[in-house]
Amino acid sequence: MKVSIAIAAAVASLPALVSAQVAAWGQCFPIADRRVLSDPKSTAGPPSADCSGVTKFKHFGVNQAGAEFGGGTVPGQLGTHYTWPKTTSIDYFLGIGMNTFRIPFLMERMVPPAQGLAGTMDAAYLAGLKEIATYITGKGGYAVIDPHNYGRYNGGIITDTAAFGTWCKNIAGEFKYDPNIVFDTNNEYHDMDQTLVFELNQACIDGIRAAGATSQLILVEGNSWTGAWSWVSSGNAPSMVELQDPNDNIAYEMHQYLDGDGSGTSETCVSSTIGEERLAAATDWLKQNGKKGFIGEIGAGSNDACITAVHGALCHMQQAGGVWIGALWWAAGPWWGTYFQSIEPPDGPSISRILPEALMPFI
């Protein structure tokens, strides 16, 4: 769960001030100029706790935010209200051994509200998504196609499951021949009827497979911001366990932040052990039900307690016998500026310590 903060940003290369805001509950940011990539360096060593007996992640990497920014302005203008990830950023993370990149985008930009969910996709916006996705997969990486809409479209909760299934079928049809594409049904459903969340996920699974995208992994997300720490207590566990995929290739995407309210808005973590503690119940559920899990967003501050907590969370996941197949940091992206969780190279705040101490040991 991410909470909105509106900050106007000055852009040196543009003649005027622009504002960019993440859709629904995203963060805002100053736009930053990125020039030279550098290797991650740290003045301190990694956490001392040993992490042995692990199953390495199949998918490990970062979110690449930007195309979902400026959600208050639809369709918005490329370069003013939203942007696409930089290929230099993708190359940087591929170069250090990461392989998976989640690409958030807005459904309303992909299919204009005047047409409705089942309408024709906007050619230019679709081309932007395909360009960055195929760049990633062309280099052997995995691109997660993430409609970053919180279970909403055009300002309201999505209730038409048939239209949503068609939307998923249409977007999947554009990527059905690329085995390195991963489909995310929707970002962080919240404050919705639990049965509806289940039905939307099932409709999307069915739509993706009906499009002919039969080999790709599908990530399903739960209600209550798809939080790992609340997966069992929120009601996601008994509902979502019944999802069916004819190709038996889905994973349960959960998100986990380590600050007090789990929103990812504070640099202070609850404790140095909070990462493992917040994942424990979800891990047990995955094991008991023979399911696969995927942390689609994890984030924390660049301080000793948080670094130890993130390291502990990832160690816990890799020691869970393979039930967790992936994890992604929130977030890279060219417009974050000094946002404390930015891992955009060369100098995002999470580059200097989080990357080498908390993330790289698990590549």
Number of alpha carbons in the 13 Å side-chain half-sphere of residue 363: 18
Does the active-site annotation cover 68?
Answer: no
Longest Cα separation, the chain: 57
Name the pairing type of β-strands 100-105 and 59-64.
Answer: parallel
Look up residue 17 and give its two tokens. Answer: 């001030």
67: tokens are 């195309």
Catalytic residue among 68, 108, 297, 344: 297
Q: Which of 188, 221, 253, 357 is catalytic?
A: 188
- Backbone φ and ψ of 91, nearest 5°: -60, -40
Residue 82 φ/ψ, nearest 5 degrees:
-155, 165
In the residue annotation, 297 being an active-site residue is answered as yes
DSSP string, 247-311: T--EEEEEEEE-STTSSS--S--S-TTHHHHHHHHHHHHHHHHT--EEEEEEE--SSHHHHHHHH
**Contact call for residues 67 and 84 (beta carbons, < 8 A):** yes
Give me the active site residues, please: 188, 297
